């Protein structure tokens, strides 16, 4: 079983710098695990590693996908697995780092499906989970498949999303197929490190990072994407940051309010990430 290091935690906590330090000390390369950093052209709003950070350690699965393309946890696990295989063959230490818990769980434990997935639905449900939290989707699941909802914990985002996707695609409750458990055994021997800090301190870091993003030109970045033909209705453009600048550009709110909402929603997202990672097993 291949050995890897996994670094996870909420947004703004310092995963990138920590991963770079580990990579430089242990001959490693970093595999991103962020569902928004995978997209091209969205650098500021997704807090991608900057040019200096990219020079300090090689990064994979960052900025490789067009924003019009869908991508889900299963595809991530497949592509990250290929990178891990390649790095291991070269004697390099794979270091998975990011805050998308669904990606990390899919990679570490694998998943199997009895039929092809609907990538568009999975992508949309994953976005809704990121924006509104697992409880929001779990309430929807209670309506369409109360049996599955009873068995699946509201914070178990993967299985909630999987059950909703199955119902929306087939029109049948997943509970009828007895498919509520989609994870296999562990695929890798992972030293999984969770980064934590006092929430008040983290929230202040988040506020400061949003201010920095504004100074760096987040509004111009989103406007440039629109000019290139990327609709604000695309899933990546509905992510935290892009969505808020879009609200301003559509004159739904003034700029000060857009920034306030961006800070608030980023803090809320961090809180949901804390909840997710607190439930993960074998986390140190």
Q: So what CATH class is 119-177?
A: mainly alpha
- Main-chain phi, psi angles of 192, to 5 degrees: -105, 115
- Pinpoint the alpha helices (H) of the chain: 15-25, 51-56, 73-89, 101-109, 119-132, 134-144, 146-151, 157-170, 199-216, 218-227, 242-249, 255-278
Q: Record the pTM.
A: 0.78
3 state SS of 11: coil
Averaged pLDDT of the chain: 91
- Main-chain phi, psi angles of 256, to 5 degrees: -60, -40
Cα separations in angstroms, 210 against 11, 205, 222, 230, 270: 11, 9, 14, 23, 13
Residue 255 predicted with pLDDT over 80? yes
Residue 161 predicted with pLDDT over 70? yes
Give the pLDDT of residue 184. 55
Residue 192 predicted with pLDDT over 90? yes
Given CA atoms 38, 41, 42, 47 in this order, what sign does their dihedral have?
Answer: positive
44 confidence band (pLDDT: 50, 70, 90): very high
Q: Which of 92, 96, 39 is nearest to 68 (CA)?
A: 39
- Of 3.40.50.300, 3.10.20.740, 3.30.70.100, 3.30.70.260, the CATH number of 3-110+184-197 is 3.40.50.300
Domain ranges (residues) in the chain: 3-110+184-197, 119-177, 199-274
- Main-chain phi, psi angles of 29, to 5 degrees: -130, 150
- What pLDDT digit, counting tens, does each position of 114-137 carry? 454 677 788 888 888 888 888 899
Residue 183 predicted with pLDDT over 70? no
Residue 194: both structure tokens together? 């969770």
Give the pLDDT of residue 185. 61
- What pLDDT digit, counting tens, does each position of 196-240 carry? 999 999 999 999 999 999 999 999 999 999 999 999 999 999 999
Give the pLDDT of residue 113. 53
Q: Are 236 and 242 in contact (CB under 8 A)?
A: yes
Give the pLDDT of residue 176. 78
Give the pLDDT of residue 151. 83
Alpha carbon distance 224, 245 (integer Å): 12
Residue 12: both structure tokens together? 């703004």
Helix (H) or strand (E) holding 40: none
Matching fold, domains 3-110+184-197 and 119-177: no
The CATH fold of domain 199-274: Helix Hairpins (1.10.287)
Alpha carbon distance 72, 259 (integer Å): 29
- Please give the torsion angle defined by the CA atoms of residues 254, 257, 259 and 262, in that order, rounded to the nearest 10 degrees: -120
Give me the DSSP letters along 126-177: HHHHHHH-HHHHHHHHHHH-HHHHHHS-TT-HHHHHHHHHHHHHHSS-GGGG
Alpha carbon distance 235, 172 (integer Å): 25
């Amino acid at each position: 079983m291949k050995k890897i290091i996994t670094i996870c935690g909420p947004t703004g906590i310092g995963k990138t710098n920590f991963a770079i330090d580990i990579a430089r000390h242990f001959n490693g390369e970093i595999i991103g695990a962020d569902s928004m950093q995978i997209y091209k052209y969205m650098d500021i709003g997704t807090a991608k590693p900057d040019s200096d950070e990219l020079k300090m350690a090689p990064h994979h699965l960052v900025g490789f996908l067009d924003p019009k393309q869908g991508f889900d946890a299963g595809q991530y696990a497949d592509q990250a697995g290929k990178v891990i295989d390649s790095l291991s063959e070269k004697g390099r230490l794979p270091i998975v780092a990011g805050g998308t818990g669904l990606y990390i769980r899919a990679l570490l434990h694998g998943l199997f499906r009895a039929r092809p997935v609907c990538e568009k639905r999975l992508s949309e449900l994953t976005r809704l989970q990121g924006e509104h939290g697992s409880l929001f989707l779990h309430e929807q699941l209670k309506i369409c498949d109360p049996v599955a909802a009873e068995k699946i914990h509201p914070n178990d985002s993967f299985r909630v999303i999987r059950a909703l996707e199955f119902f929306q695609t087939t029109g049948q409750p997943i509970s009828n197929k007895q498919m509520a458990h989609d994870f296999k055994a562990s695929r890798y021997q992972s030293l999984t490190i969770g980064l934590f800090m006092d929430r008040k301190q983290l929230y202040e870091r988040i506020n400061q990072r949003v201010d920095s993003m504004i100074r760096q030109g987040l509004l111009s970045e989103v406007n440039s994407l629109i000019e290139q033909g990327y609709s604000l209705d695309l899933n990546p453009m509905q992510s935290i940051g892009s969505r808020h600048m879009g609200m301003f550009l559509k004159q739904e709110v003034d700029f000060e309010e857009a920034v306030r909402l961006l800070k608030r929603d980023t803090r809320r997202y961090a809180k949901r990430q804390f909840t997710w990672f607190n439930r993960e097993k074998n986390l140190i």
